[in-house]
Amino acid sequence: MSGRITARAVADLVAERHGMTFERFCAPCTRRDQVRPRQIAMYAIRQLCPHMSFPAIGRLLGGRDHTTVLHGVKKIEALMRTDDRIARVVDEVMVHFHVDTSCPVDTILAVQIDAASKHLGALLLARRTELARAA
């Protein structure tokens, strides 16, 4: 995949893979069959879009609190160690976005560095534009 990976694209993919629309995916529901995919999306977004804060992820996924997102990310991290099915689903999401999961720490770090550098570049461009307009 070329360009920046968007949180919405990650959420859409996870929702679709679980047979849901994005609207249903974000609905206020506490049933496990909807909560677990949403938590997978929280984890995947955090890994693939490190510029997204916990509150921003929560807003995207139906107005959830940052602590809900933090809990979801930690829950998936724990489940990936013990539940092969969850680990496989997360791997499928990462592979879809062309992220090699065979070396997860290095890959995730590389994605985070790439996203951070793009974010910094956008901030610098915005600041330069502001300064140019002010001059």
Which residue did the predictor score with more confidence, 81 or 114? Answer: 81
Residue 1 lies in a domain: no
- Say which range, 26-35, 42-51, 77-86, 121-130, has the weakest mean pLDDT: 26-35
State yes or no: pLDDT of 2 exceeds 70.
no
State yes or no: pLDDT of 104 exceeds 80.
no
Domain count, the chain: 1
For 5-16, write each residue's pLDDT tens digit. 888 999 999 999
**pLDDT mean over 78-87:** 90
Look up the CATH number of the domain holding residue 24.
1.10.1750.10
Using the Cα atoms of residue 108, residue 79, residue 52 and residue 61 in order, give the sign of their dihedral.
positive
Residue 2 lies in a domain: no
For 35-80, write each residue's pLDDT tens digit. 899 999 999 999 888 888 999 999 999 889 999 999 999 999 999 9
User: pTM for the whole thing?
Assistant: 0.70
Residue 20 lies in a domain: yes
Contact 40, 74 (CB under 8 A): no
The residue range of the domain holding 34 is 7-134
- The token pair at 86 is 């969850």
pLDDT at 68: 92
CA angle 63, 98, 19 (to 5 degrees): 45
Residue 81 lies in a domain: yes
